[in-house]
Amino acid sequence: MGDHTPVGEFEQLVLLAVLQIGQGAYGVPIRREIEERTGRSVSRGAVYTTLDRLEGKGLLGSWLGEPTPERSGKAKRLYRVERSGITALKESRSALRSMWTGLEAMLGEL
């Protein structure tokens, strides 16, 4: 593994959701993407706290979009995964694959 800060499970889910959504990812669709793909309920606060933390780690970048009438003229904060975020995801995937190796017999075919 590299020198990067490891990312936790929920941080991975948020990064992956931003990648799945692509251009224009923001809090509401990120939350929906995680809930639909994992079947677990996710609080708004957990998503926004994690987005802030990932941005602080340099794994996500953000900018303000155009104000919209639906939001009473407020702009949405949009997110993109930075190169360092991709690296962190690859390192996490590699570490998990390594940990799973050899457990097929114990846990059933994976």
CATH number reported for the structural domain that contains residue 91 in this entry: 1.10.10.10
Task: Please indicate, yes or no, if residue 104 is contained in any of the structural domains.
Answer: no
When pLDDT is averaged across residues 60-73 and rounded to a whole number, the result is 84
Task: Please indicate, yes or no, if residue 108 is contained in any of the structural domains.
Answer: no
Task: Please indicate, yes or no, if residue 77 is contained in any of the structural domains.
Answer: yes
Cβ distance 13 to 38 under 8 Å? yes
Model confidence at 71, pLDDT cuts 50, 70, 90, reads low
Give pTM, 2 decimals: 0.88
* pLDDT cut 70: percent of the chain above it: 94
Q: What is the pLDDT of residue 1?
A: 44
Task: Please indicate, yes or no, if residue 105 is contained in any of the structural domains.
Answer: no
- Domains held by the chain: number: 1
| Segment 7-59, tens digit of pLDDT | 999 999 999 999 999 988 999 999 999 999 999 999 999 999 999 999 999 99
Task: Please indicate, yes or no, if residue 81 is contained in any of the structural domains.
Answer: yes
Task: Please indicate, yes or no, if residue 4 is contained in any of the structural domains.
Answer: no
SS (H, E, C) 35-50: HHHHCCCCCHHHHHHH
Cβ distance 108 to 97 under 8 Å? no
